[in-house]
Amino acid sequence: MKPLSRSEILAFEQLENESLGAAWARFSHLLASCPDWSIPDDVVLHIFYTSLDMDSSDDLDIAVGGSFAHRTPTEGREILDRILRNSSLLSYPCEP
């Protein structure tokens, strides 16, 4: 598999009907599969946030109690990882 280019990361977009958690998981996977470009975390989170549809970006702002864009990179990753964990739990219900 060929490495991704910067333009492929910059062109990331949330897919139609893709949940916020699924979009974060896909974006994180793309980043992990790239060579180390040393993209600062604040830039990574800005790319992700601006790639979301309006409903998801509004949901993210509501989840943080303000603007997601004003969170630190550490806070932003923690929030997105928590959303991913919670959405994963909803996708895989426990068996009795």
- State residue 3 phi and psi, 5-degree precision: -65, 150
| Mean pLDDT lowest among 24-33, 38-47, 69-78, 82-91 | 82-91
Task: Give the residue among 77, 79, 47, 74 at the shortest CA–CA distance from 63.
Answer: 79
What pLDDT, on the 0 to 100 scale, is given for residue 33?
Answer: 80
Residue 77 has pLDDT above 60, yes or no: yes
Residue ranges per structural domain of the chain: 39-91
What pLDDT, on the 0 to 100 scale, is given for residue 35?
Answer: 65
pLDDT in tens, 8-64: 778 899 999 999 999 999 998 888 887 667 788 899 999 999 999 999 999 999 989
The residue type found at 8 is E
Contact 23, 87 (CB under 8 A): no
What pLDDT, on the 0 to 100 scale, is given for residue 95?
Answer: 42
- Quick one: average pLDDT of 80-95? 68
Q: What is the mean pLDDT of the chain?
A: 84
Task: Give the residue among 92, 13, 19 at the shortest CA–CA distance from 49.
Answer: 13
What pLDDT, on the 0 to 100 scale, is given for residue 39?
Answer: 81
| Separation between Cα atoms, residue 94 and residue 17, nearest integer Å | 24
- State residue 56 phi and psi, 5-degree precision: -70, -40
Residue 22 to residues 70, 72, 90, Cα–Cα distance (Å): 22, 22, 12
